[in-house]
Amino acid sequence: MTTASSPIESVLVENRVFPAPAEFAAKARISGMEQYQALCAEAERDYEGFWARLARENVVWSKPFTEVLDSSNPPFFRWFADGELNASANCLDKHMGTAVEHKTAIIFEADGGEVTKVSYRELLDRVSQFANALKAQGVQKGDRVLIYMPMTIEGVVAMQACARLGATHSVVFGGFSAKAVQERIVDVGAVAVITSNYQMRGGKELPLKAIVDDALALGGCEGVRHVFVYERTATACAMVQGRDKTFGEILAGQSTDCAPVAVGAEHPLFILYTSGSTGKPKGVQHCTGGYVLWAKQTMEWTFDVRPEDVFWCTADIGWITGHTYVAYGPLAAGATQIVFEGVPTFPHAGRFWQMIERHGCSIFYTAPTAIRSLIKAADSDQAVHPSNWNLSSLRLLGSVGEPINPEAWMWYYKNVGGERCPIVDTFWQTENGGHVISPMPGATPLVPGSCTLPLPGIKAAIVDETGHELPDGAGGLLVISKPWPSMIRNIWGDPERFKKSYFPAELGGQIYLAGDGAVRSEDRGYFRITGRIDDVLNVSGHRMGTMEIESALVAKTDLVAEAAVVGRPDDLTGEAICAFVVLKRGRPSGEEARQIAKELRDWVAKEIGPIAKPKDIRFGDNLPKTRSGKIMRRLLRSIAKGEAITQDTSTLENPAILDQLAQAN
């Protein structure tokens, strides 16, 4: 075990192994490595047959498919393309008349602690009624609807109602700014926006609808005919006559019966924006059939979910994890799940543990960044340590979104899981639709800091820059060498970027490039993710593009001449954003520098959202550049880390700049 200070570097050496607990394995769907290997072998023998079997077992088709994989136009792969289904019917209708109908679907806990429960039957009624309301307002199959909602039952209802009509939703996380909302509305071509008057977070009432108003006022949003407003709180918000309507207004008189609209398997279920290596976020387009299949199958394989489980994924519906493991997967699997509106530290940092006890949570899935911040809180205040609560209902823990450092893994394992619960460290991406590399909890021996092995059917590999597979122990590019059903279908409106980003010609044009580096261990062939290979940062489990933040900074044209953004390791947030800025007016110092740094942070919050605010801002007279004018980011990364520069700086045009930038402001 290492004690390196960075959460990313500290996963380098790890010898501890935790076999699947016998009691867990005895009941698990994948019970032991033989069973896991048998599934992998089945996929190896007959790849299409394997996926066809899963698609028949996991999905209710209104028209069965006869084709499995269509590779005629790579990399635009199609799965089950002549089949028809409805995603909402696969989450709700199929449970009617079964034991699940009157089971609790969602236990909602509000920021302030109030609890509301809805059964599958009630959820279906609410989704149907909301779908009827949308339909009456003119929303139809193929339309795009932007959702900007807090974590509420209504947020899930809004997504499911769109799916029911065959309308494609695009959910934007409530922490994004008006500008970010506007860009997404324009790019996706939304006809309607579903939002909430306010959201409650950490005891504060924060506006959402007002941000939508600002977004629409920025222009280019003429396609938006309606804004539907959920009245989360009693506080009024401004309403535009003719355009804005409350949920109460549109739901009045609507029936709770609404036939689900059958769509083709390839019909876009949703478009979710994520950061890439250029300034413009990518609209990741997912299909219906393959996505629903994997959402359900991974609930059963990775989480081994059973009828009596109380599942809790803490992710917001604004991220992919909240799509697959809040809005779709748990419902498709007929599970009872917790939906939480608030934040882990309000009213105290024991909130998660308190909620696990209160609701008898048995499967808990969260991000390393949350675990790290709760470790820190528990270290400084024993009263919020998990040991203060009865967590014996837990049987499985999960981690997602960023590498989990072995120290945090061990703490989670001991203090939350009572050394009894396996931890599934799930590696996947917005583009993957669901888990691609993860332990199977009843089978895979766990190694802290490793996401272990690919799921059956997922052909993950590590290759060099020419696409050749590398031996175990050698670090390289993580790829998935065969198409799989829940993979990204396109970048909305930008097929060229889709090809270039994910299926680069250098790798043959058909292999999915994840954008992460990885290495396989020589002893077990386990995967360990070493971090992004592109200009994407992972800050508190949120993906941020360095170019996106740079574009935001240089858009402050009255102040900023040039900016370069890099990441540096951070014990709490995984990575932290560090910006190097050249001002038009010359390099500021002292109080002036602090003032301007604050101004720039607020500006970035306005341009993108508070999650993109740089932690460090350093001012220079210039940036380190090669003689041909290229910014040398690797030097900036070293400076950001506080490392001595050991790289060759002979090609640098202006070496003196390094000392200047190394001085903290």
3-state secondary structure at position 384: helix
| Encoded tokens for 332 | 């498709």
Smallest distance, ligand WTA to C-beta of residue 489, A: 16
Strand 282-286 relative to strand 490-491: parallel, antiparallel, unpaired? antiparallel
Smallest distance, ligand WTA to C-beta of residue 241, A: 38
3-state secondary structure at position 586: coil
Smallest distance, ligand WTA to C-beta of residue 530, A: 9
The interface region with ligand WTA, picked from 117-125, 314-322, 439-447, 597-605 by CB under 6 A, is: 314-322
As a whole number of angstroms, the distance between CA 91 and CA 88 comes to 5
Work out whether 543 is an interface residue with ligand WTA (CB under 6 A): yes
Work out whether 444 is an interface residue with ligand WTA (CB under 6 A): no
φ/ψ of residue 251, rounded to 5: -80, -20
| Encoded tokens for 654 | 């202006």
Work out whether 527 is an interface residue with ligand WTA (CB under 6 A): no
Q: What is the DSSP letter of 261?
A: P
Using alpha carbons, select from 314, 340, 342, 317 the residue that is nearest to residue 204.
Answer: 342
Q: Interaction with ligand WTA in 403-422: which residues (CB under 6 A)?
A: 403
Work out whether 428 is an interface residue with ligand WTA (CB under 6 A): yes
Cα 179–chain centre separation: 21
Q: Find the residue with minimal CB distance to ligand WTA.
A: 430
Work out whether 291 is an interface residue with ligand WTA (CB under 6 A): no
**b/e code 395-422 from CB counts within 10 Å (16+ = b):** bbbbbbbbbbbbbbbbbbbebbbeeebb
Work out whether 539 is an interface residue with ligand WTA (CB under 6 A): no
Smallest distance, ligand WTA to C-beta of residue 201, A: 20
Q: What is the DSSP letter of 106?
A: E
Smallest distance, ligand WTA to C-beta of residue 538, A: 5
Smallest distance, ligand WTA to C-beta of residue 115, A: 28
Using the minimum distance from each CB to ligand WTA, give the nearer residue, 283 or 350.
283
DSSP string, 436-500: SB---TTTPPB-TT--BSBPTT--EEEE-TTSPBPPTT--EEEEE-S--TTS--EETT-HHHHHH
Work out whether 511 is an interface residue with ligand WTA (CB under 6 A): no
Q: Which of 515, 569, 614, 624 binds ligand WTA (CB under 6 A)?
A: 515
As a whole number of angstroms, the distance between CA 317 and CA 337 comes to 14
Q: Interaction with ligand WTA in 271-290: which residues (CB under 6 A)?
A: 274
| Encoded tokens for 133 | 């309301």
Smallest distance, ligand WTA to C-beta of residue 426, A: 5
3-state secondary structure at position 590: helix
Work out whether 546 is an interface residue with ligand WTA (CB under 6 A): no
The interface region with ligand WTA, picked from 97-105, 156-164, 428-436, 485-493 by CB under 6 A, is: 428-436
Contact 331, 313 (CB under 8 A): no
Work out whether 451 is an interface residue with ligand WTA (CB under 6 A): yes
Residue-level length of the chain: 665
Work out whether 14 is an interface residue with ligand WTA (CB under 6 A): no
3-state secondary structure at position 246: strand
As a whole number of angstroms, the distance between CA 361 and CA 148 comes to 28
| Encoded tokens for 626 | 């090669």
Work out whether 109 is an interface residue with ligand WTA (CB under 6 A): no
Work out whether 366 is an interface residue with ligand WTA (CB under 6 A): no
Work out whether 453 is an interface residue with ligand WTA (CB under 6 A): no
Work out whether 321 is an interface residue with ligand WTA (CB under 6 A): yes
Work out whether 170 is an interface residue with ligand WTA (CB under 6 A): no
Using the minimum distance from each CB to ligand WTA, give the nearer residue, 319 or 413.
319
Q: Which of 340, 427, 527, 619 binds ligand WTA (CB under 6 A)?
A: 427
Work out whether 449 is an interface residue with ligand WTA (CB under 6 A): no
| Residues contacting ligand WTA: total by CB under 6 A | 21
Smallest distance, ligand WTA to C-beta of residue 449, A: 9
- Footprint of ligand WTA on this chain (CB under 6 A)? 274, 319-321, 400-403, 425-430, 451, 515-516, 529, 532, 538, 543
